[in-house]
Amino acid sequence: MEPEKNFEEIAENILELLDAKKYIAARQEVLKLNAADVAEVISDVEDELGIEMAIILFRMLPKDISAEAFSRLNPDDQVNIIAGITDRELHFIIEEMDFDDMIDVLEELPANVVDKILARATKEERRQINTFLNYPEDSAGSLMTPDYIELRKEWTTGQALAHIKEAGIDSETVYTCYVKDPGRRLIGLVSLRSLVVSESDVPLADVMVEDVVYVNVYDDQEEVSAAFTKYGFLAIPVVDNEHRLVGIITIDDILQVVEEEFTEDFERLGGVLGSDDRGYLDTGVLRQVRNRFPWLILLMCSAMMTGLVISHFELLLTDVASLTMYLPLLMGTGGNSGSQASTLVIRGLALGEIETSDALRVLWKEARISFLLGVSLSAINFTKILLLDGQPVSIGLTVCVAQVFVIMLAKCIGGMLPLLAKKVGIDPALMAAPFISTLTDTFSCLIYFTLASVIFGLY
């Protein structure tokens, strides 16, 4: 039996078939892929063969696949596809998409395109769409879907199962169902497992869970992500300020949030701001420059402070030239120590293990850790300076005492800056490793040269 082709082979084959205008064969290859892979192929076709060919490929898709594939395209590709299809085709795609995916798409599209879509919607659809679009971008309300299964407390499990069979086809999930009172307030939830294993005449009130974990529509998406991580849910209900159930958030939506938050924090840790959803190769050179320039100008100004400190102690460096060779060691050790501490604290904040109220505990812990590390590294360095470098004890003492203080200060700075950022409402990831390294460079020079001035009597 011939082994199945992998995605790369199928995608390459589709490109070749489209380029040769063998559309029927290309469609047969496309049908071997799932919607996520189809979206990737459409983007590749647009890049390689142009938007016209990408639209041809899109129109080849079965209706159920086209809607899901469209929802997975990046915003630029979505706009290009919309520009090449009819209003009727667009309306069908929007109608076939899951509600939460539709909202995500509408949030990214230009206003004139959104107006075109809303013009074909019913009055009730427009009201619901506008309500969801008005929630803050990174809130639970912007992530949720209204497509959930609601049950009534007075039903039996048999009636509940019958309702699930009827309404489940249009719901985001059937594994968890939600019980509301006549005022639409959330009063409990029931798992599909509980319904299936119970007798059909058991009152729903006997199997539902009343202690429900929920989020508010205005909760930040990071708080929602933390709730999923803590409780291991597949879905979580969303309520308004009156505790009325207005939607649910499912695990597939929160996974996308986790990816976005991780990417954002990773870029900030590396000193890159203002990134978007496009990949590295799809982002233009000027946009990349704009994303990186602010951090680099800030770091350059910070490095100037280090230069001023060194120039201030120019006389000391002239009289004791051997001090210069150990300056990179101290600056590198300080930067690495600060980055270690900041990385661990930022991680603790992200996972909810550390709060801003823990600042003194963090400071005390980092002080003890840094002292032990500083003494250990300095002992090794002192032996190396005396035995291998052949330097006098005064040089070894200056370097190693400074190293202890540099490591202690760097770790305390690295531990405290993210907490300070969190306290004043700034993303802790902005306390990026390059920033902390540059800051500790300045203090490393200041500590080193001040200590050397005291030991060698050069003021």
Q: Which two tokens stand for residue 85?
A: 């299809």
- Spatial CB neighbours of 157, under 8 Å, sequence gap ≥ 6: 194, 195, 198, 199, 200, 201, 202, 203, 204, 207
- Which residue's entry shows tokens 């040089």? 395
25 and 113 part of one domain: yes
Residue 306 confidence (pLDDT) above 80? no
pLDDT at 3: 41
Q: 249 near 238, Cβ under 8 Å?
A: yes
Give the end of a domain, one of 233, 250, 267: 250
Residue 451 confidence (pLDDT) above 50? yes
Query: What is residue 334's three-state secondary structure?
Result: helix
Average pLDDT, the chain: 79
165 and 309 part of one domain: no
Domain holding 162, by residue range, is 150-250
124 and 159 part of one domain: no
294 and 401 part of one domain: yes
Q: Please report which confidence band the pLDDT of residue 46 belongs to, taking 50, 70 and 90 as the band edges.
A: confident
Q: Please report which confidence band the pLDDT of residue 4 belongs to, taking 50, 70 and 90 as the band edges.
A: very low
Q: How far apart are CA 218 and CA 140, in angstroms?
A: 6
* Strand partners of residue 247: 238
Q: How far apart are CA 93 and CA 228, in angstroms?
A: 30
Residue 302 confidence (pLDDT) above 80? no
Q: Give a yes or no: residue 141 inside a domain.
A: no
pLDDT at 458: 58
Query: What is residue 176's three-state secondary structure?
Result: strand
Q: How far apart are CA 184 and CA 241, in angstroms?
A: 12
Q: 407 near 334, Cβ under 8 Å?
A: yes
Query: pLDDT tens digits for 227-240?
Result: 887 888 888 999 98
Q: How far apart are CA 95 and CA 111, in angstroms?
A: 18
Q: Give the CATH number for residue 342.
A: 1.10.357.20
Query: pLDDT tens digits for 381-409?
Result: 999 988 888 888 888 888 899 899 999 98
290 and 413 part of one domain: yes
Q: How far apart are CA 75 and CA 67, in angstroms?
A: 14
Q: What is the total count of domains within the chain?
A: 3
Q: Give a yes or no: residue 94 inside a domain.
A: yes
H-state helical runs in 61-139: 63-72, 75-84, 87-96, 99-108, 111-119, 123-133
pLDDT at 260: 67
Q: How far apart are CA 15 and CA 26, in angstroms?
A: 8
